[in-house]
Structure 1
Amino acid sequence: MKLPVTTLSRALRPFPVQLSLPLHWGELDAAGSINTLYFAKFFEAGRRSYYLQVLKPQVSPSSYASFAAPTTIGPILKSCQFEFFTPVPFDGPGSRLEIGTRIKTLLADRFVWELVVLSNSPRLLQASESTSAPASAADGYVLVARGEAVSVMFDYSLHKKALVPSDIADAIRTAEQSDVQQRADQRAGE
């Protein structure tokens, strides 16, 4: 099956946070591809970048500090799943992956992340088909993985679920520009 080729700007348009990560030889598996275990690390980097690029500039320093390194109320990863479309080859020094991160659903006590990973590996591009006619081979990217994760707000002092703080929810709504599905009226206990 040939994978579709697209431009980076088209693929990452819906994602307010975009991150470029280097690949390393030590991330290879026995087959010579990037080990899928590392995608959890790549997705964590995407979520962390969201906190730094979206939330930190829009909330008070004390609110961000509590959220990012919680001693009271902060996020905890409840679940995550990955869908892999093709093995990612390591093309040597300079090999990179592009990560797109967004929050697609905001609930009273949690948010649902959507993450994508793209590669412009020459080997992947040669084996793929162009669907949006990139201007040059350097502009072509292949979607190699997609993931979804759920972060639940947790009160670390009381050891129980909590609500998303209003300033954090407002910052998410602003970043996602109403694309985020809001269900703020859903009870935290559900």
Structure 2
Amino acid sequence: MELTDFPVQVKISVAWGDMDANGHINNIFYLRYFETARIQYFQEIGLIDLKAQTGVGAIIAQTTCKYHKPIKFPDQIVVGTKVKSMGKSSFVMEYLIVSEKLGVVASGEAVTVMYNYNISQKVELPSFIKAAIEKIEKGNSLI
């Protein structure tokens, strides 16, 4: 897995305040880094606008993170995300965090479910969102 496999990438400066008593970035911040890349992806496919206009948006059903190496301040990271697969009402996002100093430091996934917040239930993945994902992922094979 390489960063070039991830069509949406976000560069983040590691903050001093993100470190814990052990002198490395606290584990919760890795999930925040994933979130930052996920929200960028959502903006690019129109999902943020869809939620604002209709109440239909995304909800995370499951997330995982594999910690490869501890990040320390100061550092710059790049967080990449892509959609690994799509279903009827959900899609799986994959993440990769690469440190300027250490290389790959973490990877993970999230199951993202389309959800109508107005009626509190899952809904089908809108066709225009599916098309936007396919456009971004062109060149990456969706399983």
Specify if TM > 0.5. yes
**Structure 2: distance between partners of 1:97 and 1:13:** 14
Instruction: Tell me if structure 2 keeps the 8 A contact 1:70–1:156.
Output: no
Instruction: Tell me if structure 2 keeps the 8 A contact 1:79–1:149.
Output: yes
Runs of 4+ with >2 A deviation = 69-72
What do residues 108-132 of structure 1 show as CA deviations (whole Å, max 9, x unaligned)? 10010000001122xx4xxxxxxxx
Instruction: Tell me if structure 1 keeps the 8 A contact 2:91–2:111.
Output: yes
Of structures 1 and 2, the larger Rg is shown by: 1
TM (norm. structure 2) is 0.91
What do residues 6-51 of structure 1 show as CA deviations (whole Å, max 9, x unaligned)? xxxx821111101100111100011111111101110000001112
Instruction: Give 5+ residue unaligned stretches, structure 1.
Output: 1-9, 57-62, 125-141, 182-190
TM (norm. structure 1) is 0.70
Say whether 1:166 aligns with 2:127. Answer: yes
Q: Which residue of 1 aligns with 2:59?
A: 76
Alignment root-mean-square deviation, CA: 1.7
- What letter is aligned with 1:22? S
Change (3 A) 1:64 1:47: closer
* 1:106 aligned to which of 57, 76, 86: 86
**Structure 2: distance between partners of 1:19 and 1:156:** 28
**Structure 1: distance between partners of 2:63 and 2:118:** 25
Alignment of 1:176-187 (within 5 A): 176-177=137-138, 179-181=141-143
Shift of 1:64: 5.2
Determine helix, strand or coil for the equivalent of 1:37. helix
Matched-pair identity in %: 32
- What letter is aligned with 2:122? K
Shift of 1:70: 6.5
Q: Point out which structure has higher relative CO (alpha carbons under 8 A, 6+ apart).
A: 1
Q: Which residue of 2 aligns with 1:4?
A: none
Say whether 1:30 aligns with 2:10. Answer: no
How many residue pairs align between the two structures? 142
Instruction: Tell me if structure 2 keeps the 8 A contact 1:18–1:46.
Output: yes
* 2:45 aligned to which of 45, 50, 55: 55
